[in-house]
Homo-oligomer: A and B are copies of this chain.
Amino acid sequence: MNPGSKCRTCRQPAIIDLPRHNANFCAEHFLELCRRQVIKAIEHWKLLERDDKILVAVSGGKDSLAVWDLLIELGYQADGLYVGLGIGDYSDVSGDYARRFAADRGLKLIEISLRGEYGYDIPTAAKATRRVPCSACGLSKRHLFDKAALDGGYTALVTGHNLDDEAAVLLGNTMRWEIDYLARQLPKLEARDGFPKKVKPLVRLTERETAAWCVVRGIDYLVDECPIAAGNKHLGYKATLNAMEAESSGSKAAFYLNFVERMAPLLAGHLKDDREALRECEQCGSPTSGDVCAFCRLVATASAHERVPVELIMRGRR
């Protein structure tokens, strides 16, 4: 940003430049822009109703704290859910940020510990399944988010996925033309048997913008990225999109938003979930296409495995 840059709205000194919007903003009008983008997402895609009982999946990072803060500010009723993944110090510290945010604002935070309640953690699950840690982590979180939302009588599960996240996942699925995954990549998935409604109100904000939201709002968040995600493909796709964005401002938003507007409707009939008959998991009752759901199979494999320290999973990774 050039020194002396002025806010587009009030001409006071700007604190942030947003090349995608071809404008600079002061703190107040930057927050206003973020609110408008979230409201636009909620209204355009009908993400939330005023009387939704919302559960926000909270990691202690900028995105999940920003979305919780924004929803409360916009007058929604929203509790938080923190899942302790057992990724060494990273998880301990992330839990502290989530707890402090909730306590400072008198908000309700539900906590689940993988190790305490299911007898495993993510490093151990990665070793036991011999797959990348992000795989066991995603599976665990999806299952526990769904279960907590349904058990608690919540009508909407909110995640803090931002534009960078969604565009990177979209690029990965597009590079392989994974039609099933592409068809699911929407800012809202409707509730259906055994699954809550899932919505992503931050998809019109970049991660730079959610970080700036937290800074301006005085929200303390865990800045570190997950130590065992480093070098994963998702981060590679983010870097690719950032390079393209640097060449052509707005290309990242156009990639994601045009997908949702133009392509997703053409894929609506190709949702694998809609085609598959689901029944109840024999062990936990969750919807599954087999006898036992993937989460219960993961619990069985990982909880029987000797505990693996996080450093072992990080070793040898880039």
User: Number of contact residues on A: which range applies?
Assistant: 20 to 34
Q: Is the CB of B177 within 8 A of A262?
A: yes
Q: List the one stretch of A112-120, A263-271, A301-309 in contact with chain B.
A: A263-271
Tell me, in angstroms, the Cα distance from A233 to B248 when the chains sit together: 10
Q: Is the CB of B179 within 8 A of A255?
A: no
Beta-carbon nearest neighbor of A267 in chain B: B266
Within 8 A of B (CB), among A113-149: none
Across-interface contacts of A176 in B (CB, < 8 A): 254-255, 258
Which A residues lie at the B interface, using CB under 8 A? 174-177, 179, 233, 236, 240, 243-244, 247-248, 251, 254-255, 258-259, 261-263, 266-267, 270
Q: How many copies does the complex hold?
A: 2
A-B contact pairs, 9 of them (CB 8 A): A175-B254, A177-B255, A177-B258, A177-B263, A236-B247, A240-B240, A243-B243, A266-B266, A266-B270
Tell me, in angstroms, the Cα distance from A263 to B258 when the chains sit together: 16
A187 CB to nearest B CB, Å = 15
A255 CB to nearest B CB, Å = 5
Among A177, A233, A261, A270, the most chain B Cβ lie within 10 Å of the Cβ of: A177
Beta-carbon nearest neighbor of A262 in chain B: B177
Tell me, in angstroms, the Cα distance from A98 to B259 when the chains sit together: 42
Q: Is the CB of A175 within 8 A of B266?
A: no
Q: Which 9 pairs of residues, A with B, have the shortest CB-CB distance? A: A177-B258, A177-B262, A177-B263, A175-B255, A177-B259, A179-B262, A176-B254, A176-B258, A174-B174
